[in-house]
Chains A and B, each alone.
Chain A
Amino acid sequence: MTSLVALNSDAHRNLMIDIQDQVDVAKKHNLLPVFMVEFVPSAAQCPVVFAKNHETGQIRPVIMTGFKPDENLFCDGDKWLGRYLPASLRPSPLIAMPDKNNDEKLVICVDEKSPMVSTEKGERIFDDEGNQTEFLKAQTQLAAEMRAHGLQTLELVETLVEFELLKTNPISVTPTNAPPFNVTGLYFVDEKALGELSPEKLAELRDKGYLRAIYASLMSLHRLDDLMRRRTDQETEAA
């Protein structure tokens, strides 16, 4: 559980933040959420598909790093084997939230329970006089960007669902030395439905800047073979 508290230069005067990649938390997960802006860099290395969050049922874009729920072929301990590390594995304990009284305004909150937050290690966020440090200013900027990326991603999914452009079908996997199995619960861009979309809707996708992401996701399906190869290679190495 996170415990978000709005930043306050008195209460948090001595707080320090030590930003660390969180690759090891992903070790046991085969689906890692990504933002829409990450589709292109991610698509070069693994499939970018869609899946439901088990807690909320919400559909979100994910990169597929393995075929089974606890398989991550991109993690070696806390080392990331891919070229592009998704933002979800570089989480900041500083998060931008809309102000309770004014939706338009963002408030920067800190997750006080995060292991990256202490009074001993990392960068100060306030100086002794209570002024924001350069580090905090940069992080504030980043947090606002993350929030915007999040909202944009939600809108993308909403549009894809509304235009009936997502379909689900099982993919069958045939490992070299094990019985074949199906991977279910994934959603893909429906290429056929995309081809049949009305000109108005297609224009809407273009104007919203979604087409690049949609094609990146479609093309990334070719990475399923790479993922399988990665699996076989790792098995051979281990053997």
Chain B
Amino acid sequence: MNVDELRIEQVVIVGGGTAGWLTACTLAKNLASTQPGAIQVCVVESPDIPTIGVGEGTWPTMRRTLENIGLDETEFIRECSATFKQGSQFINWKQSANTDQPHAYYNLFSSIYNPADFNLAPYWALGHAGSDITYANAVSAQGVACDRGLAPKKITTRSYDAVQSYAYHLDAGKFAELLKRHATEKLGVRMVAANVTQVNSDEDGFITDVDTKEHGKLSGQLFVDCTGFRSLLLGDTMQIPFKDVNDVLLTDTAMAVQVPHASKDADIACVTKATAQEAGWIWDIGLQNRLGVGHVYSSAHISDEKAEQQLRTYCDDLSGELSVRKIKMRVGYREKFWHKNCVAIGLSAAFVEPLEASAIFLVEAAGNMLSDLFPRTRRAMAHTEKKFNNSFRFRWDKTIDFIKLHYYLSSRRDPFWRENKQSETVPDSLLEKLDAWSQHPISKYDFSDTNEPFPHESYQYILHGMGFEQSLQSSAPTFAQVAQAKMYFANVVKATEHICRDLPSHRSLIDKVCQYGFQKI
């Protein structure tokens, strides 16, 4: 038989972290693996090598992903200590904290009006919303809701539906366990607990099977590398080079801690907080029972000791009781994500600092694209490979620009922050956009590509939250729908009051979900 006509019957996923199990669920569900004759999915999970154990912030895409694989939202929230996330709050990014008032702004998941229909941003920039209202509050109810500790929905709202768009904060370890159970019990995924010791290829360079210490050979026609930073298949075996982006994104180390809540009924923030530090920033994620906190920093600009001390200060842990885990981060991406019959998804493919929780959300995107374009034969693979690589190269480049944007607009003076603004560290693609946007508002034409990872509105939240200087005066006459814009701004204010009156506190909703659960209808 001609190898080109080789049918894809068995997918082997190596690695059982968030990426491995999420991809397994998505593939098995979309390929209907429980049906007779369907493509089979197998996950090789090492009983010895731990998962990365972080990765607790997500994007609203997660709701569709979980609903699609048939997980019940209530079960997910209960099992994963999950809470709701309505966006991110950036604290002291514009300037250092030693001024009178800390600076803070939001990147929120929903605005009252879709900027693709009517973009309020230029009207806000021209002062039509009033002089002392932030961009976020001028276009969205969610910032006020978050300030007041409110949830994005009610106990009467259907599973996965929202009053205000939301994502989740989740316990990474528990999430992988839940996905594993769901994949193996409901979706027909086979799990093999084993360490892969060697990867074997045929004369064309296609992977044929992997050797395991415990269960011998496991063969398949398509291999998904979910081995984390190790990148055992795509990196080690296929030798696809890694493109470092440490010259653009300067952070390379993280220190993570878990901080129990002070009491069982402690308030829980409904956003990921990111507080700028001397040489990086600290994430702060509230789960049901604890906070997940971590310091992401540049080891070239600060010592580990000092970074740890800043983290402990943030956590009020002056006696040093919390146990801190240090994680070396490899920042960048593989030159290809798909090579022959091997696709890398998760940390094995790429990683940049977790400032906008882009990793899991690109894992979801990869799983979806892989199942949508799933090649049925070896011959069909070359085409999918090209499409997949172009798409993810684009997504990662955009992600890097977007993360860099957060730094570039800062006026902090520490050496790390100053270096972040030096032109040799800033991609041209970002500088071009900023140059255009300084005279012209962002428009839907900047986001016409369906692979665009971050939406139009996110850029506006960052730009205007950071006080980006935009001079629209000369083109002011083109923004002539002032009456309409003013009416919309007034509606946002009204809607904000209305929505906030109706929503429960985040904690009380979480307690109710644990007690009663959401209804499916």
Pairwise interchain contact B512-A56, C-beta atoms closer than 8 A = yes
Q: Of the candidates B155, B157, B520, B521, which one forms a contact with A56 in the assembled complex, judged by CB atoms under 8 Å apart?
A: B155
Number of A-B residue pairs with CB-CB distance less than 8 Å in the complex they form: 33
Pairwise interchain contact A57-B521, C-beta atoms closer than 8 A = no
Chain A 54-82, CB-CB to B under 8 Å as 1, else 0, gives 11111100000000000000000000000
Size band of the interface chain B makes with A: 10 to 19
Q: Which of B147-185 contact A (CB under 8 A)?
A: 154-157
Tell yes or no: B516 within 8 A of A by CB.
yes
What is the distance, in angstroms, from A156's C-beta to the closest C-beta of chain B?
15
Pairwise interchain contact A161-B520, C-beta atoms closer than 8 A = yes
Q: Of the candidates A56, A161, A167, which one forms a contact with B516 in the assembled complex, judged by CB atoms under 8 Å apart?
A: A56
What is the distance, in angstroms, from A149's C-beta to the closest C-beta of chain B?
20
What is the distance, in angstroms, from A186's C-beta to the closest C-beta of chain B?
12
Tell yes or no: B200 within 8 A of A by CB.
no
Residues in B neighbouring A161, C-beta threshold 8 A = 519-521
Tell yes or no: A126 within 8 A of B by CB.
no
Q: Of the candidates B512, B515, B519, B520, which one forms a contact with A52 in the assembled complex, judged by CB atoms under 8 Å apart?
A: B519
Tell yes or no: A187 within 8 A of B by CB.
yes
What is the distance, in angstroms, from A26's C-beta to the closest C-beta of chain B?
21
Pairwise interchain contact B156-A57, C-beta atoms closer than 8 A = yes
What is the distance, in angstroms, from B503's C-beta to the closest C-beta of chain A?
13
Closest B residue to A162 using CB positions? B520
A187 to B158, CA, bound (A): 13
Tell yes or no: B15 within 8 A of A by CB.
no
Tell yes or no: B59 within 8 A of A by CB.
no
A102 to B154, CA, bound (A): 34
A59 to B519, CA, bound (A): 8
Q: Of the candidates B156, B515, B521, which one forms a contact with A166 in the assembled complex, judged by CB atoms under 8 Å apart?
A: B521
Chain B 491-521, CB-CB to A under 8 Å as 1, else 0, gives 0000000000000000000001001111111
Q: Which of A40-62 contact B (CB under 8 A)?
A: 52-59
Pairwise interchain contact B521-A58, C-beta atoms closer than 8 A = no
A56 to B513, CA, bound (A): 9
A56 to B517, CA, bound (A): 8
What is the distance, in angstroms, from B379's C-beta to the closest C-beta of chain A?
41
Tell yes or no: A168 within 8 A of B by CB.
yes
A191 to B215, CA, bound (A): 53
Pairwise interchain contact B516-A58, C-beta atoms closer than 8 A = yes
Closest B residue to A52 using CB positions? B156
Residues in A neighbouring B516, C-beta threshold 8 A = 56-58
Q: Which of A112-170 contact B (CB under 8 A)?
A: 161, 164, 166-168
What is the distance, in angstroms, from B485's C-beta to the closest C-beta of chain A?
30
What is the distance, in angstroms, from B197's C-beta to the closest C-beta of chain A?
46
Q: Of the candidates A54, A55, A57, A185, which one forms a contact with B518 in the assembled complex, judged by CB atoms under 8 Å apart?
A: A57
Q: Of the candidates A55, A164, A166, A185, which one forms a contact with B155 in the assembled complex, judged by CB atoms under 8 Å apart?
A: A55
What is the distance, in angstroms, from A174's C-beta to the closest C-beta of chain B?
26
What is the distance, in angstroms, from B520's C-beta to the closest C-beta of chain A?
6
A83 to B179, CA, bound (A): 53
Closest A residue to B515 using CB positions? A56
Closest A residue to B155 using CB positions? A57
Pairwise interchain contact A54-B156, C-beta atoms closer than 8 A = yes
What is the distance, in angstroms, from B476's C-beta to the closest C-beta of chain A?
41
A164 to B521, CA, bound (A): 9
Pairwise interchain contact B512-A57, C-beta atoms closer than 8 A = yes
What is the distance, in angstroms, from A55's C-beta to the closest C-beta of chain B?
7
Residues in B neighbouring A56, C-beta threshold 8 A = 155, 512, 515-516
Pairwise interchain contact A187-B521, C-beta atoms closer than 8 A = yes
Residues in A neighbouring B519, C-beta threshold 8 A = 52, 57-59, 161
Q: Of the candidates A53, A54, A55, A59, which one forms a contact with B521 in the assembled complex, judged by CB atoms under 8 Å apart?
A: A59
Pairwise interchain contact A57-B517, C-beta atoms closer than 8 A = yes
A167 to B519, CA, bound (A): 12
Residues in B neighbouring A167, C-beta threshold 8 A = 521
A58 to B156, CA, bound (A): 8
What is the distance, in angstroms, from A76's C-beta to the closest C-beta of chain B?
30
Closest B residue to A55 using CB positions? B155
Residues in A neighbouring B157, C-beta threshold 8 A = 57
A57 to B514, CA, bound (A): 12
Residues in A neighbouring B521, C-beta threshold 8 A = 59, 161, 164, 166-168, 187
Q: Which of B295-343 contact A (CB under 8 A)?
A: none
Q: Which of B155, B515, B521 has the most CB of A within 10 A?
A: B521
Residues in B neighbouring A168, C-beta threshold 8 A = 521
Chain A 184-202, CB-CB to B under 8 Å as 1, else 0, gives 0101000000000000000
A24 to B509, CA, bound (A): 31
A167 to B156, CA, bound (A): 15
Residues in A neighbouring B155, C-beta threshold 8 A = 54-57
A59 to B157, CA, bound (A): 11
Given contacts A53-B156, A56-B516, 9 further A-B contacts (CB under 8 A): A56-B155, A56-B512, A56-B515, A57-B154, A57-B155, A57-B516, A57-B517, A59-B521, A161-B521
For the complex of A and B, 5 pairs with smallest distance between CB atoms: A57-B155, A52-B156, A56-B516, A57-B156, A57-B516
User: What are 22 A-B pairs with beta-carbon distances under 8 A?
Assistant: A52-B519, A54-B155, A55-B155, A56-B155, A56-B512, A56-B516, A57-B154, A57-B155, A57-B156, A57-B157, A57-B512, A57-B516, A57-B518, A57-B519, A58-B516, A59-B519, A59-B521, A161-B519, A161-B520, A161-B521, A166-B521, A167-B521
